[in-house]
Structure 1
Amino acid sequence: MESLNALLQGMGLMHLGAGQAIMLLVSLLLLWLAIAKKFEPLLLLPIGFGGLLSNIPEAGMALTALESLLAHHDAGQLAVIAAKLNCAPDVHAIKEALALALPSVQSQMENLAVDMGYTPGVLALFYKVAIGSGVAPLVIFMGVGAMTDFGPLLANPRTLLLGAAAQFGIFATVLGALTLNYFGLISFTLPQAAAIGIIGGADGPTAIYLSGKLAPELLGAIAVAAYSYMALVPLIQPPIMKALTTETERKIRMVQLRTVSKREKILFPVVLLLLVALLLPDAAPLLGMFCFGNLMRESGVVERLSDTVQNGLINIVTIFLGPSVGAKLVADKFLQPQTLGILLLGVIAFGIGTAAGVLMAKLLNLCSKNKINPLIGSAGVSAVPM
């Protein structure tokens, strides 16, 4: 009888909580959207599967060594950690102290948990290597750069303003998050608001990269919101575009003003990197990888490397990036009021970015003979998935 009881207690079903059950359903929904509806399948499928693995009871695949220690509820071990953090020896107090601790102190506590015999789960390791280090989004940005043709932009530099206008979605989202916090509706810190704001740029790798740096606790919700709304761009943008343009404007035919030389295409990523990185060094990692990938494409002398970055390398990184994001879809981190706020702010950001791009195109047409079709203003919301 004792053996049967031990067997039952070892089953995951006996430890399945309501939050985990909900997150398993959310993960299955992501898989359904990826497979049945073809919504950003390259990332929603691995994210969804990572979410399934993260919420299997007692498996601990998304837990760090320290989180595994806290989940074990050993009074003696909790007392040791609490003494180091100068807090009460209970899980809630320790988590609060860790949230306020410096990264160096958090690292010390993680090492202490390892010394006590705990090991991080495989998804936690994926997250640490792929996102915690920032490597995966940077490599993906290199691949995006290798896929990008700046010819139309160089031929018609005015279109750069369309992309700039669409970034109003980012600022609107940041202000929206801070407004929710000001009125006490949903609590967001300034770094969290900034991370959420990146959803407005509709740029998956950037959203993941900055979330990992500024608000890793919100990474799962931000990534799911960003990629879900990117998949819904064909539904979100058309009503806004139609409402802000006339039929005559939508029929404007554009022609390429001139042919862009190979020299211009080669010089552009180099000059872009130097100008922006010298002014904003913090942008150097993402922009540097993007420009490096674009230079490989345009130089024409490393076609084998360019092809590898565009295909094999970016696919391999995506395989690890998706489950790493899924590691943040654990119930106690995702099922928070903040998640609802992130989803709401995300769709507002997409709408404002689209509207701003279209309106900027209409403004440019007022002072130019060569008309721009306002519909391309919506392309300022880049919707870069991979």
Structure 2
Amino acid sequence: MEKLLRLFHFSRSETNDVVVESGTIFSQSDLDFDTIVADFELRIQNCVDDKNAKNFRFKRFSSQIVTNVSEIFKSKKEFDVHSEQIAEKFKDSISKRFINDFYLVVFSTKYQSRDVLFIVKMETGTAIQVDDENTLKTLESVLPDKKSRLQKAVVIYRDKTIQFKEGKETPNSERENIHSRVLDRSDENISGYFLKKFLESDNVIDDPDSAARIAIQSIKDVASPYLKAGLKQEAIVDKLHSYLSEERQTSFEDLINASKDLFDFDKPGREIDSEKISEEAYNLAKKRNNTVLKTFIAKLNRPPKEVYISRDDVQKLKISYLQSMEEQGYITWDEDGDYKILRIDTNEVPIVKKG
């Protein structure tokens, strides 16, 4: 298998359209290729080992990304075709939800003797073009730049992808058959467009944060009818967020018992006990994702936030939101003279007044 690498430059035109420039395909015959490969193979190792990276499985064997990964390793011609399709799919997935120019890197290589496709979204403060005149020396000058940062990365395993595509996985082996490993430095819960639209994948529930999130969601949905009068669903979420702020061995029944002071299980016509309601929550979670377990280790990660306060008096103003909201373009800042203007895409981030 020949190692191949290609950059795609994403920017916005004056009319706000997304523009993608396709770079040349670099290979072993290019000067400085080994230096660049060494850098990206180290990034692959870091992506796989990062404690915040998560395992994923494709949803459908017929999805475009599955076909791309299955075919892209066959030849340089196939790499050309399928890397273009991957960039186009990324363009459709991210839409206009970005502010700064960035580079999408598509790199086919080996990791621990396995063929892998490494796809990286990198933002950089260095403006370079990726047309046919671009050289690896130019790329090499960008990588160590302090402004360069790996934002999102996925390591996709060719062997497991083909096995899935051909229907050759052993039944009920979803937790063992990992198709990809994903790292999102701007959103530990993995940005929606990257996961759902681009990769068309589901999270494998085999890490504490993923286990915590799906359990909380399922318990909230199942147990809400049994809340005491005057309480809302948010009370369940707040209670379990606090309970799972520290890592612990837990279960659906344990989480129901930890929040039982919120519920009235003796409501007329709705009598139920904690064991039965925890079973319903587990069944709902299992229906949503077949890799869920009844008993698990859970700890809820807190995604990074941007916080703005009044310089002279913190009590005057406090604005807080997830960094990923700005990175995806849902929240933007403008200036008008002495005024700072915060814009929120309320189609993507519906807002209400608290309290």
TM (norm. structure 1) is 0.23
Higher relative CO (Cα under 8 Å, sequence separation at least 6) belongs to 1
Which structure shows the higher strand fraction?
2
Which structure shows the higher helix fraction?
1
TM (norm. structure 2) is 0.24
